[in-house]
Amino acid sequence: MPKGIVLASGSVHRRELLKNAGVDFTVRPSELDERSIEAPLRDSGATPEDVAAVLAEAKASDVAASHPGEIVIGADQTLALGDAVFHKPATMEEARRTLLALSGRTHTLNSAVVLVENGSVTWRHVAVARITMRELEPGFIGRYLAGVGARALTSVGAYQIEREGVQLIEEIEGDYFTIIGLPILPLLQELRRRGEIDG
């Protein structure tokens, strides 16, 4: 008999991807302080992919503690530009600086997803996408941010590819779901393999 599936994320985008795929699940966002978990990783030589995987696991494990017997999905995404790792901007000024830094360059999005059951990680996957941004004039960045408003603060690169942010992009290597922040194809494959969703 299928187990309950819990999404340990408050991301509207991840929720929509699972819902649109027809998965029956509940949402229980983790309350962990991600930056405090990430801080010691910076000095340990962890790659941005490692950081995404560790954060995804930490969030899933946190929620799984109060959901025994259920499958908890944890997910996280990092954005790397060279050696720099970016986070969701807290202010519009941070969003502006992020877009200026990404302008004309190729950055990497690392999207991790893990499954935790009864305190143990039972599956993990990290998908990578590379995005090359157009050369963005400062004036255009200002107009773009004025148009999208606070939505710019909800994604790690201050852009949303499913909306106006697609105008900022010159080239993509990788799939749409990785960019959104949930590698849903391998996740669905694993859930089918376990008999948790119809396949």
Active-site residue list: 76
Share in percent of the chain as helix, strand, coil (round to 5): 40, 25, 35
CA 20 to chain centre: 17
Query: Residue 116 gets which letter from DSSP?
Result: E
Measured in residues, the chain has a length of: 199
List alpha helices for 85-124, DSSP H. 92-102
Sign of the alpha-carbon torsion through 18, 20, 22, 26:
positive
The residue behind tokens 């990788």 is: 174
The answer to whether 12 and 20 are in contact (CB under 8 A) is: no
At what angle are helices 34-42 and 48-64 packed, to 10 degrees? 140
Indicate the SS3 state at residue 118: coil
Shortest CA distance to 63 belongs to which of 75, 51, 52? Answer: 75
